[in-house]
């Protein structure tokens, strides 16, 4: 009986081992399938994350390029504007300064204005530093009319203003006014040059 019992125990043990082995194989296979599935899902997730990162990087790059182009265009536009203004300022300013510093020419203007209305009294305002030069130049041109003139020094840099006393208006030939006048023409020419250079 001992023998039969041992055989039975051995058989139960062997069946248990066999069943346990099969179960272990099944669990191992199931674990392998689950692991393969998890790895596949992880790879798919990683690929999607990578694609999203690439899309995001491309979007950022596109935005940065657009902003850089906009900044470049604005800088170029501002630079052209500043160059144009410098050209206008330098050209018109130099021209106006040269014109108003030619006292003989300015005295010629004044003489022409006064000769058109010989019986009128005029007041002329010039810069304080140029007053003597204007008086000398006007006295040389129209010595007989100098008594009808009141020449005073003002705060302007150069040029003159002339007004018929009591008339309520004046003509302005100051360097600032002449510079503004010349700037209109020079600005237009500069705009044409910059448009043609694009």
Structure tokens at 124: 């002329």
**Residue 191 C-alpha from the chain's centroid:** 17
Q: 5-19, 51-65, 124-138: which has the highest mean pLDDT? A: 51-65
Domains and CATH numbers, the chain: 96-191 (3.30.2320.30)
Q: Residues 67-74: what's their mean pLDDT?
A: 86
Question: Whole-number mean pLDDT of the chain?
Answer: 79
Rounded Cα distance between 178 and 100, Å, is 9
Task: Please enumerate, as own/partner, the contacts of 108-117 that have beta carbons within 8 Å and a separation of 24 or more.
Answer: 108/141, 109/173, 110/134, 110/138, 110/141, 110/160, 110/162, 111/138, 111/141, 111/142, 111/145, 113/162, 113/171, 114/142, 114/145, 114/148, 114/149, 115/142, 115/145, 117/164
Question: Is there a contact between 175 and 156 (Cβ–Cβ < 8 Å)?
Answer: yes
Place 1 in a pLDDT band, splitting at 50, 70 and 90.
low
**pLDDT value at 126 more than 80:** yes
Q: Which residues pair with 124 in a beta bridge?
A: 151, 162
Residue 166 has pLDDT above 90, yes or no: no
pLDDT computed for residue 197 by the predictor: 61
């Amino acid at each position: 009986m001992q023998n039969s019992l041992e055989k039975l125990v051995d058989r139960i043990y062997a069946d248990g081992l066999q069943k346990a082995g099969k179960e272990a194989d099944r669990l191992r296979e199931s674990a392998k399938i689950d692991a393969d599935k998890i790895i596949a899902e992880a790879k798919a997730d990683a690929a999607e994350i990578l694609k999203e990162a690439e899309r995001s990087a491309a979007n950022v790059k596109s935005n940065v390029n657009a902003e850089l182009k906009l900044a470049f265009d604005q800088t170029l536009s501002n630079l052209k504007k500043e160059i144009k203004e410098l050209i206008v300022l330098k050209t018109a300013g130099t021209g106006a300064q040269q014109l108003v510093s030619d006292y003989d020419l300015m005295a010629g203007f004044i003489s022409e204005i006064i000769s058109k209305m010989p019986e009128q009294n005029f007041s002329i305002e010039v810069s304080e530093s140029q007053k003597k030069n204007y008086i000398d130049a006007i006295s040389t041109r129209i010595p007989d009319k100098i008594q009808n003139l009141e020449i005073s020094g003002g705060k302007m840099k150069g040029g003159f203003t002339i007004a018929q006393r009591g008339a309520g208006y004046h003509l302005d030939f100051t360097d600032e006014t002449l510079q503004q006048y010349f700037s209109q023409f020079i600005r237009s020419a500069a705009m044409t040059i910059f448009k043609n250079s694009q």
